[in-house]
Homo-oligomer: A and B are copies of this chain.
Amino acid sequence: MSEGKPVIGILGGTGGLGTGLARRWLQAGYQVIIGTRDADKGLSAVADLQRVMAERGVGPVEVSALDYAGTASAADIVVLSVPFSHQADVLTSVREQLQGKVLVDTTVPLRPPKVSLVQLPESGSAGQIAQDLLGEGVHVVSAFQNVPAPRLKEDAPLECDVLVCGNNKDARAQVIRLVEAAGMRGLHAGQINNAAAVEALTSVLIFINRQFNSHAGIGITGLDA
């Protein structure tokens, strides 16, 4: 941990969402490990993150790249940011290293080519699949499915909320702190299978983005009333 902050590992950290989250957390002073199967891509991602942080005038940042097992071992909180089709394989490969930790699942169960059509898995949600697969020794928390990755990469305020689902309240609270560090409001949104709502909403947002040529997100209204 650096300054009491958890070390964050991002499995699939070279993708769009992973890159956006890494930028936000590095900028907020967190140590980030990019987890990737491709060592060259990992080095390149680290160099890119260092360059972008320097361009933004952010001081030296703690960022490195490791393979999936190394990332899951070294990090305090592990974020999964891979396509749904790889979710089960990747999680199975790091099941041991994740025991006792919080796993943040960002998976959206899209089924190409009809990605704007809600097609939830039989188990209900990708979040539930992750929890079932990892067992009770891992606190799975689902988040970030509705955040537009292109906006996340930018150095600008993000106008959207993040719905945070998981069976353990304290684990949800830890993830809400990471949401806030990334510049958004995080909200407790219920048990892990409530991720179904958030995952399904991503298809709706894709449908909306096609109409507006936008990078839409969601907000919860009426909380101040």
Residues of A at under 8 Å CB distance from B? 116-118, 120, 124-125, 148, 151, 159-160, 163, 165, 187-191, 193-194, 196-198, 200-201, 203-205, 207-208, 211-212, 214-223, 225
7 A-B residue contacts at CB 8 Å? Answer: A116-B194, A117-B193, A118-B124, A118-B196, A196-B196, A217-B221, A219-B219
Tell me the minimal C-beta distance from A109 to chain B in angstroms. 12
Choose among B151, B194, B200 the residue that contacts A222 (Cβ–Cβ < 8 A): B151
**When chains A and B are docked, how far (Å) is the Cα of A190 from the Cα of B188?**
27
Choose among B194, B203, B208 the residue that contacts A220 (Cβ–Cβ < 8 A): B208
**When chains A and B are docked, how far (Å) is the Cα of A148 from the Cα of B161?**
19
Choose among B194, B208, B221 the residue that contacts A160 (Cβ–Cβ < 8 A): B221
Q: Which residue of B lies closest to A128 (CB)?
A: B118
Q: Which residue of B lies closest to A122 (CB)?
A: B122
* Chain B residues within an 8 Å CB radius of A196: 118, 120, 196, 200
Q: Is the CB of B221 within 8 A of A218?
A: yes
Q: Is the CB of B223 within 8 A of A208?
A: yes
Choose among B118, B120, B221 the residue that contacts A219 (Cβ–Cβ < 8 A): B221
Q: Is the CB of B208 within 8 A of A188?
A: yes
* Chain B residues within an 8 Å CB radius of A201: 197, 201
**When chains A and B are docked, how far (Å) is the Cα of A193 from the Cα of B119?**
8
Tell me the minimal C-beta distance from A206 to chain B in angstroms. 9
* Chain B residues within an 8 Å CB radius of A187: 208
**When chains A and B are docked, how far (Å) is the Cα of A108 from the Cα of B219?**
20
* Chain B residues within an 8 Å CB radius of A163: 204
**When chains A and B are docked, how far (Å) is the Cα of A169 from the Cα of B34?**
43
Q: Which residue of B lies closest to A116 (CB)?
A: B190
